[in-house]
């Protein structure tokens, strides 16, 4: 079947998502909770696009293409909502995200700078019970990617999403710590984390010493 993305016709197979169709024609759609190695989750609402005939913006990562669908990836309303979501996410962090992170890249490309308001930020709390990894709770944006990577890529089921709203976060081994969990130290969680909330201890130590290279 055929869809049209930003005026470009593209053939897609049944089941193709709007995000996949956009990628086929090299159109950028911002994403935060998406990782192509895992089943789309549809949690962050940053990947919004306009679809002709739809009453409002739709999430590209979980919307499946229909024959003849016309998609606009740079729709003004979609981008405005996505930018506001990213700004809200940034406002809950204790400081700007590290330059090399996916969150920083998405904010840059959307033109979102420092949040226009000062809100409640997540308290600084580090789980350093793993020999190689550190979980910096204050940087977690609850995208769920680490939990899904642990489940879907590694099948280890060591991480759990806990809490609700502003207090949602991620814990290892139901907060007993990585070592008390089923973690096999594969690093899939750190690899997918868009904010470096889960990161290698060595890299964090370098960052804190001012020696991390951003880029």
Task: Determine the 3-state secondary structure of 150 from DSSP.
Answer: helix
Instruction: Say whether residue 43 binds ligand FES (CB under 6 A).
Output: yes
Cα 215 to Cα 209: distance, rounded to the nearest angstrom = 17
Share of the chain residues as helix, strand and coil, in percent rounded to the nearest 5: 30, 15, 50
Which residue among 33, 89, 107, 140 contacts ligand FES (CB under 6 A)? 33
Return the number of other C-beta atoms located less than 10 Å from residue 156's C-beta: 17
Instruction: Say whether residue 47 binds ligand FES (CB under 6 A).
Output: yes
CB-based contacts of 155, cutoff 8 Å, min separation 6: none
Site for ligand FES in 136-165 (CB under 6 A): none
Pick from 65, 66, 59: nearest CA to 40: 59
> Among the candidate windows 42-50, 120-128, 179-187, 205-213, which touches ligand FES by CB under 6 A?
42-50
Site for ligand SF4 in 182-201 (CB under 6 A): 192-193, 195, 197-198
Binding mask 126-165 for ligand SF4 (x = CB under 6 A): --------------xxxxxxx-------------------
**Residues in touch with ligand FES (CB under 6 A):** 31-34, 42-47, 59, 61
């Amino acid at each position: 079947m055929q869809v049209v993305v930003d005026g470009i016709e593209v053939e897609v197979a049944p089941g193709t998502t709007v995000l996949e169709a956009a990628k086929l024609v090299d159109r950028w759609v911002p994403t935060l909770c998406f990782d192509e190695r895992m089943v789309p989750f549809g949690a962050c609402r940053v990947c919004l696009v306009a679809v002709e005939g739809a009453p409002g913006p739709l999430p590209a990562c979980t919307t499946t293409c229909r024959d003849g669908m016309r998609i606009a990836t740079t729709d003004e309303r979609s981008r405005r909502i996505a930018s506001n979501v990213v700004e809200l996410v940034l406002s809950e962090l204790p400081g700007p995200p590290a330059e090399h992170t996916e969150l920083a890249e998405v904010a840059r490309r959307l033109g979102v700078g420092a949040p226009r308001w000062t809100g409640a930020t997540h308290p600084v709390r580090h789980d350093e019970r793993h020999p190689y990894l550190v979980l910096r709770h204050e940087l977690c944006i609850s995208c769920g990617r680490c939990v899904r990577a642990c489940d879907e890529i590694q099948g280890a089921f060591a991480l759990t999403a806990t809490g609700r709203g502003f207090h949602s976060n991620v814990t290892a081994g139901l907060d007993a710590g990585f070592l008390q969990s089923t973690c096999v130290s594969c690093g899939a969680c750190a690899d997918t984390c868009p904010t470096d909330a889960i990161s290698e201890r060595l890299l964090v130590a370098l960052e804190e010493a001012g020696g991390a290279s951003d880029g």
